[in-house]
Amino acid sequence: MTVESTAARKPRRSSGTKRAAGAASAAKAAAATAQNAEPQLVQLLTPEGERVESAENAEFAPFVADITTEDLRGLYRDMVLTRRFDGEATALQRQGELGLWASLLGQEAAQIGSGRALRDDDYVFPTYREHGVAWCRGVDPTNLLGMFRGVNHGGWDPTINNFHLYTIVIGSQTLHATGYAMGVAKDGADSAVIAYFGDGASSQGDVAEAFTFSAVYNSPVVFFCQNNQWAISEPTERQMRVPLYQRAQGFGFPGVRVDGNDVLACLAVTRWALERARRGEGPTLVEAFTYRMGAHTTSDDPTKYRRDEETAAWEAKDPILRLKAHLLATGGADEAFFEGLEAESETLGKRVREVVRAMPDPDTMAIFENVYADGHALVDEERAQFAAYLASFEEGH
Amino acid sequence: MAVEKMSIAKALNESLRKALETDPKVLIMGEDVGKLGGVFRITDGLQKDFGEERVIDTPLAESGIVGTAIGLALRGYRPVVEIQFDGFVFPAYDQIVTQLAKMHARALGKIKMPVVVRIPYAGGIGAVEHHSESPEALFAHVPGLKVVSPSNASDAYWMLQQAILSDDPVIFFEPKRRYWDKGEVDVDAIPDALHAARVAREGTDITLAAYGPMVKVCLEAAAAAAEEGKSVEVVDLRSMSPIDFDGLQVSVEKTRRLVVVHEAPVFLGTGAEIAARITERCFYHLEAPVLRVGGFHAPYPPARLEDEYLPGLDRVLDAVDRSLAY
């Protein structure tokens, strides 16, 4: 992908050990070990595509007992099309059609697995990278591109798909999700709410406050953290000293670490957490342990801060290849299926390209629209003044 | 007759009670608003009568209070949140500015944000640090927010209900040193529009424009000036976003002089905006430059100095004299 040759670069961690020994660095090393040791996580499908049974997954496996081979092909299709859309958007940014793009490459399983666990009446609060979840909610993927092209700040009506607008300020939406969930509980509804955020966002005060509020009000919200290991250039060691999912314990609700590259495990764990919420058992923290294969956004250059070896190790855990291996090994899909999907991907990519290029700039006077619901004298005044100013050019002809 | 004499605090309490009775979607949220009834007792008795599901004691986390209020508004509720003191609003400032103010615009109008943020503000009660600030300009500067402040019991009663009815987020600044001032409230009246300025005292020589806690000071200044034969008009702006420039213009075109008075620091404050706009609108009517009286570009001082810091009768009258001397 975007990773250039880094053969000459020293492993990042080696420079850290050069610094002073002693208690501080020992603690640091211990923290790093806690973060980077092969984590205990819920996995149902190995990187080789084999179904596994274990003590860790026994509680969760029943939540996907109903998943048929056809369902598996559906999950595979979701991930492939999402990746294709994402790749197309990245290309469109490189071609100057988008001002910025935040790629989800590598995180398809976390997003499709959790997204497909949701019911229509559940409500989703995404960050700005949840393109796969948007796909699951039925939001037309081209609608996600308006904000990155610079024609709007949203581009879809959140109330239609119960999929809130992307939130760019890190972690803010976890509080909105909590408040919304408080409302769901007040309404006596059995809907659930899911809030997406990243490992970097877990450092934000708002996320801690969301944990506090949801715990004390026992709100039906699932905090779905995609730990993709990097917050732009900051590794998880710069965000935390204990594994992220363990944080939930301090707030009084369960936390689970799931293999974020295993779509089946993500589906199972999210269903489990959503059911807890629906039963009135309050919030859950799900840490989907995954990896951002590309850059943070198209403005970022990951070759400056991470090693090829690390990326290569995660490539071997690719969520799509894993399910493909499983489908092939079990006879769940044949070549015709994969070929058909390839053709569908190309059609999607073509449509995305065409729609983006045809996206009109907004009308100039849209600047003044929807600033207030009830109107505002100053906005009215400035709108009239600016309209008169623009009109003055036309009168000049 | 439905005219009752009550304090501003009581008027606010009655207003919240009315809003809770009228609309089951109205919620009160904040630190200590339940059993205690708020540190100023503005929510006194409300939890007892409306229950813990409507009058919600929250964790001690301002960003959380406003952030969850946003989520509740998305679910169809109309939260009225209390920030305990002016200086404590800043942990919530991010949620207010980056989220609450912009949600309606970002959603191209598909989402409404009927959230009221009540903030007891300004000085004069001998409090410690962070309990006496006037940050209204910081909020009025933000597109998407509306900012108001009542100066009397009737406005306290009516403006708060109007703010709760508004589909826009309203920052509702309550002049805490006036909480115990009493006035008549006609609970059957048809109130003034929420963002309309009101002539609090008629005069012909000069206009004093103020809002919130400084309206009373200006009325006292006008009374003192009258003894010297000066006719001072006092305009209670009531709203800092939007500002009723049309209403103020009428007064200034009559008196031809304007002094703006507020507690907040003068530099880049509400008075600066008013001076600029009124100068633009009334350039040929003005006999003197618009003058401002307000706080200094310094942190709010310790309580023993606040009488010197806060604009009082003398500083307002001094500005009146300076304006009339042109």
Q: What is the pLDDT at residue B155?
A: 98
Checking phi first, is residue A375 left (phi over 0); if not, alpha (psi -120 to 50) or beta?
Answer: left
Average of pLDDT values for A198-202? 96
| Region B196-203 average pLDDT | 98
Nearest chain B Cα distance for residue A185, angstroms: 10
Torsion angle, CA of A113/A117/A122/A124, rounded to 10 degrees?
A: -10
- At A3 the pLDDT is 32
Residue B61 in this model has a pLDDT that exceeds 80: yes
Chain A closest CA to B126's CA: distance in Å? 31
What number is the average pLDDT over the span A326-349? 97
- ipTM value: 0.95
Which 8-state DSSP code applies to residue B53?
Answer: T
Mutate to test the interface with B, among A178, A180, A365, A372 (most CBs of B within 10 A): A372
Residue type at A215 in one-letter notation: A
**φ/ψ (deg, to 5) at A301:** -130, 90
CA distance linking residue A106 with residue A110, whole number of Å: 9
Q: Which of A83, A129, A164, A292 is catalytic?
A: A292
Indicate if the pLDDT at residue A37 is higher than 90: no
Query: In chain B, which residues have their Cβ closer than 8 Å to the Cβ of A212?
Result: 59, 61, 64
* Average of per-residue pLDDT values in chain A: 91
CB within 8 Å: B59 and A152: no
User: Residue B8 has which token pair?
Assistant: 């501003």
* CB contact (8 A) between residue A180 and residue B71: yes
Question: Could you tell me what percent of chain B has a pLDDT over 90?
Answer: 99
Residues of B taking part in catalysis:
131
Residue B39, pLDDT score: 96
pLDDT exceeds cutoff 50 at A16: no
CB-CB under 8 Å, A374 with B168: yes
C-alpha–C-alpha distance, residues A34 and B196, integer Å:
61
Using a CB–CB cutoff of 8 Å, tell me whether B167 touches chain A.
Answer: yes
A137 is catalytic: no
The pLDDT tens digits of the residues spanning A46-95 come to: 999 999 999 889 999 999 999 999 999 999 999 999 999 999 999 999 99
Q: Provide the mean pLDDT of chain B.
A: 97
Q: Which residues of B touch A206 (CB under 8 A)?
A: 63-64, 67, 94-95
CB-based burial, B238-255: b 16+ in 10 Å, e otherwise:
bbbbbbbbebbbbbbebb
Q: For A18-42, what is the mean pLDDT?
A: 53
pLDDT recorded at residue A228: 95
Cβ neighbours of B103 in A, within 8 Å: 165
Give the closest of B63, B104, B106 to A206, CB-based. Answer: B63
Q: In A, which residues are within 8 Å of B75 by CB distance? A: 179-180, 182-184, 187
Residue in B76, B95, B167 nearest the CB of A172: B95
The span from the CA of A45 to the CA of A64, in Å, is 12
CB contact under 8 A, A213 and B59: yes
DSSP line for B189-254: S-PPPTT--EEEE--SSEEEEE-TTHHHHHHHHHHHHHHTT--EEEEE--EEES--HHHHHHHHHH
A30 compared with A285, residue with greater pLDDT: A285
| pLDDT at residue B97 is higher than 60 | yes
Going by pLDDT thresholds of 50, 70 and 90, the confidence category of residue A396 is: low
- CA-CA distance, A236 to A228, in Å (whole number)? 9
Mean pLDDT of all residues in B229-253: 98
pLDDT tens-digit readout, A208-237: 999 999 999 999 999 999 999 999 999 999
What single DSSP character describes residue B168? Answer: S
Query: Residue B144: which of A187, A371, A377 has the nearest Cβ?
Result: A371
Q: Contact, B225 vs B251, CB < 8 A?
A: no
Q: Give yes or no for residue A303 having a pLDDT over 80.
A: yes
Please give the model's pTM, rounded to 2 decimal places.
0.93
Closest-CA residue of chain A to B141: A378
Cis peptide before B242 (omega within 30 of 0): yes
Task: Find the mean pLDDT for residues B100-125.
Answer: 97
| pLDDT tens digits, one per residue of B140-159 | 999 999 999 999 999 999 99
d(CA B98, CA B83): 18
Interface probe with B: pick from A370, A379, A385, most Cβ of B within 10 Å: A370
Per-residue pLDDT of B42-53, as tens digits, reads 999 999 999 999
Chain B residues in contact with A154 by the CB 8 A cut-off are: 106-108
- What per-residue confidence (pLDDT) applies to A397? 55
pLDDT digits (tens, 9 = 90+) for A264-277: 999 999 999 999 99
The pLDDT value given to residue A38:
59
Helices A108-115 and A69-94 cross at an angle (nearest 10°) of: 130
Q: Which of A175, A212, A223, A383 to mutate to test the interface with B (most CBs of B within 10 A)?
A: A175
A305 is catalytic: yes
Least CB–CB distance from B74: residue in A152, A176, A187: A176
Q: Residue A29, Cα to own-chain centre: how many angstroms? A: 29
